[in-house]
């Protein structure tokens, strides 16, 4: 069932029809990756909308690796180069134990026309899933 989103003192702004999950992968040290949809295409926030990140799941094959969440203007996959105009939203989210997933509630907003992206530190394989909705 769709959810309605309201503004305090206002009417309905938009309808959320479904949540989104986006995935990024990096396999070597110090790499950027934009997040992709379940069909493997870079996700771009639609014009006039914002993507609200509400939860993440992060797993690394080594302890003490981390990621920073942000967004940019273009897609990169497992790249030493950042997306154009990369904006970093967070500091380290750290993996304390190898091969154990971290699941945490967060709240970040990715603006219209931008691609959510992550910078991964450390020398192992990283998998990041973002959960959220676009309004």
Give me the domains of the chain, ranges plus CATH numbers. Answer: 19-134 (2.60.120)
Instruction: Find out whether 118 and 69 touch, Cβ atoms under 8 Å.
Output: yes
| pLDDT tens digits, 66-101 | 999 999 999 999 999 999 999 999 888 888 889 999
Give the Cα separation of 27 and 43 in Å (integer): 20
Q: Choose among 54, 24, 28, 18: nearest CA to 40.
A: 24
Structure confidence at residue 64 as a pLDDT band (50, 70, 90) = confident
Give me the pLDDT at residue 30, please.
Answer: 86
Pairing of strands 31-34, 20-26: unpaired
Average pLDDT over residues 1-13: 47
Band the pLDDT of 29: cuts 50, 70, 90.
confident
Taking phi first (over 0 means left), then psi (-120 to 50 degrees means alpha), and beta for anything else, what does residue 113 get?
left
> Is pLDDT above 80 for 128?
yes
User: How far, in Å, CA of 113 to CA of 14, rounded?
Assistant: 18
Average pLDDT for the chain:
88
């Amino acid at each position: 069932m769709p959810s309605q989103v309201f503004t305090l003192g206002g009417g309905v702004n938009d309808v959320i029809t479904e949540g989104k999950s986006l995935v990024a992968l990096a396999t070597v040290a110090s790499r950027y990756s934009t997040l992709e949809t379940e069909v493997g295409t870079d996700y771009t926030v639609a014009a006039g909308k914002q993507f609200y990140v509400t939860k993440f799941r992060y797993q690394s094959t080594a302890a003490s690796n981390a990621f920073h969440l942000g967004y940019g203007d273009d897609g990169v996959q497992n790249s030493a180069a950042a997306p154009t105009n990369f904006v970093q939203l967070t500091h380290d989210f750290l993996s304390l134990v190898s091969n154990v997933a971290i699941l945490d509630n967060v709240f970040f907003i990715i603006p219209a026309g931008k691609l959510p992206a992550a910078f991964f530190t450390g020398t192992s394989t990283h998998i990041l899933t973002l959960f959220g909705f676009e309004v």
